[in-house]
A and B are shown apart, each in its own frame.
Chain A
Amino acid sequence: VGGGAQVAPARAMKALTFRAPSVMKLMNKPDPRIEHPNDIILRVTRSAICGSDLHLYHGLVPDTRVGSTFGHEFAGVVEEIGSSVTSLVKGDRVVVPFNISCGTCFYCARGLTSVCENSNPANEIVGGVFGYSHTTGGFEGGQAEYVRVPFADVGPMKIPEDMHEEDVLFLSDILPTGYQAAEMGDIKEGETVCIFGAGPVGLMTAKSAWLMGAGRVIVVDHVDYRLEMARRWANAEVVDYKKEGNAHVIGRLRTMTDGRGPDVCIDAVGCEASGSFMQKALGMAMLQAGSATAVDWSIHAVRKAGTVVLIGVYGPPFNLVPVGVAMNKGLTIRTAQCNVKRYMTHLLDHIRAGRLDPKGIISHRLALEDGPDAYRIFANKQDECVKCVLIPRHAA
């Protein structure tokens, strides 16, 4: 190790590790080390399981290696710092964006930190991400007692002294992701926004759509308690597609919107969408990257010349979507992984002002040791689970 880094003696930490599809195990791993002058080592105090972690958990993301630790939504305390870190000192509490971004490359300089060209050597598709397969750089995630955080002077945001980690934990991903989705919808005052998926990101998107002046917010899902959450927590109208019938969802949405369809449709589901036997079967047969039902429904449901936003995660190489319909309807299609850093301060202001309360969706708090159970509960939507937060033993 060079660069004058402060090097701590090697220790063994506990980390949740991927063993096989639908199998996670708590294992001992060597503590992470400073590997770059601008690294820090973070002692994790809170780490959430994201809906997109389930795509990894189910083995749907290419180059997900056995032994990997997932987790890209975490906060913690700075434990060690690299020699060039100037913004943080040992003991600082920080929340970390899921993107790993250099802050100065062609893309970062334009605010597009999710496609940083200095953090992922694996491909030209996406920037580095914590704990999200070797397709995003092979970085370890935060579902562990410690995690290495590169470019510490760029991503991490100090947590205000009067705030708890859980107040700001979701600034790491789902809140900015939902906000950016609504923003990409280019919502104008009074417009109708339809969100497919009442999971954590869908709920954050619904809240954000109101901030942007939406006239109506409709959430589509099939899980009763999540629809109830969308109605109660996000003030949304809801459509249960199991009750409506899968084939009638689009007709129902048109009926609700004077026959035209919503102005903006947002896919907040991704590659594990149910609702279409054909999409599911083609995904399971590996003839496409999972099920693209939410994209299909978004394109068909949105009004002509409307906007479709895709924030659901799909792996390569391709999916079956109605491109011809999108073209003939004259749609605007916006997509992106979230450029988290760009939104943190703005959304922190909303949290402080009480306009957003992201921690309100936490349904389960479990010890890191119970991580395998947390994945099972979240994946199977048991016990009315909306969001799981893991707490390592050294969190206090």
Chain B
Amino acid sequence: MQGTNAHVMGWGVDARREDRPGVPREGERQRMGNAHWTVPEQQYSKEPAVIERRREVTPVYGTVNPPAKLSGVIRRLAYRAPDYRPRRWMLLMLADRIDVLEHAVVPAAVVLVAASAIGFAGFVGLRALRAR
């Protein structure tokens, strides 16, 4: 078989399973990289942006985009359900859609205020013209 695939650069160099880094799947216990702790220190910055309360906060976590507004309320509600309940994920998807709308609401509000201002100015102008 090797002859038929000789045109493929590197064919068969990892054919022996012992040459594959992920075999066996669970390797001998050892520290990965240059980890110099048994238990990592705890992150000292603000609250995690994730709001799971079922487990202890991990030593590191993300802090950006914390839950806010209506979508944030729904996210908090979602995280009350454990990760094995579909309810959590469906609520999070709902929150994601509302989050998008909330961020679209700002320009919509600006448009609404601008339209109202133009309408009001037009109304006042029209009244002024009629008064002449």
Chain A residues near B (Cβ < 8 Å): 1-3, 19-21, 33, 35-39, 59, 62-68, 84, 86-87, 100-104, 108-113, 117-125, 128, 134-135, 137-140, 150-151, 153-155, 180, 183-184, 186, 189-190, 208, 210-215, 235, 286, 315-318, 339, 341-343, 346, 350, 353-356
Residue in chain B with minimal CB distance to A346: B21
Beta-carbon contact of B31 and A103 below 8 Å? yes
Query: Does B116 reach chain A (CB closer than 8 Å)?
Result: no
Contact of A343 among B13, B22, B34, B92 (CB under 8 A): B22
Query: Does B120 reach chain A (CB closer than 8 Å)?
Result: no
Smallest CB separation, A127 vs chain B (Å): 9
Chain A residues near B64 (CB, 8 Å)? 67-68, 138, 140
Chain B residues near A137 (CB, 8 Å)? 50, 58, 60-62
Bound complex: CA A342 to CA B30 (Å): 12
Query: Does B7 reach chain A (CB closer than 8 Å)?
Result: yes
Residue in chain B with minimal CB distance to A139: B62
**A353-B10 contact in complex given A138-B49, A153-B36, C-beta closer than 8 Å:** yes
Beta-carbon contact of A113 and B32 below 8 Å? yes
Query: Does B39 reach chain A (CB closer than 8 Å)?
Result: yes
**A120-B58 contact in complex given A84-B41, A109-B31, A215-B5, C-beta closer than 8 Å:** yes
Beta-carbon contact of B99 and A66 below 8 Å? yes
Residue in chain B with minimal CB distance to A151: B60
Chain B residues near A316 (CB, 8 Å)? 83, 86, 88-89
Beta-carbon contact of B44 and A138 below 8 Å? no
| New A-B contacts (7) at CB < 8 Å, excluding given A36-B42, A120-B61, A346-B21 | A37-B41, A66-B102, A108-B32, A138-B61, A154-B35, A212-B14, A318-B86
Chain B residues near A (Cβ < 8 Å): 1-2, 4-5, 7-15, 17, 20-23, 25-27, 29-45, 48-50, 52, 55-65, 71, 75, 78-79, 83, 86, 88-90, 92-93, 95-97, 99-100, 102-104
Beta-carbon contact of A109 and B62 below 8 Å? no
Smallest CB separation, B48 vs chain A (Å): 5
Chain A residues near B62 (CB, 8 Å)? 128, 134, 137-140
Beta-carbon contact of A317 and B1 below 8 Å? no
Bound complex: CA A148 to CA B33 (Å): 18
Chain A residues near B13 (CB, 8 Å)? 211, 350, 355
Bound complex: CA A148 to CA B127 (Å): 60
Q: What are 9 A-B pairs with beta-carbon distances under 8 A?
A: A63-B75, A86-B36, A103-B31, A112-B25, A119-B61, A211-B11, A211-B14, A286-B93, A342-B32
Chain A residues near B60 (CB, 8 Å)? 35-36, 39, 100, 102, 118-119, 128, 137, 150-151
Chain B residues near A110 (CB, 8 Å)? 26-27, 29
- Interface hub of A104, A214, A339, A341 (most chain B Cβ within 10 A): A104
Bound complex: CA A102 to CA B60 (Å): 9
Q: Please classify the interface of chain A as helix (H, G, I), strand (E, B), loop, or mixed, using the class held by over half of its residues.
A: loop
Bound complex: CA A132 to CA B89 (Å): 15
Bound complex: CA A190 to CA B3 (Å): 11
Chain A residues near B30 (CB, 8 Å)? 109
Chain B residues near A211 (CB, 8 Å)? 10-14
Contact of B22 among A118, A183, A317 (CB under 8 A): A183
Bound complex: CA A109 to CA B38 (Å): 10
Chain B residues near A35 (CB, 8 Å)? 43-45, 60, 63
Contact of B103 among A19, A104, A317 (CB under 8 A): A19
Beta-carbon contact of A190 and B1 below 8 Å? yes
Contact of B63 among A104, A138, A212 (CB under 8 A): A138
Residue in chain A with minimal CB distance to B102: A66
Chain B residues near A68 (CB, 8 Å)? 64-65
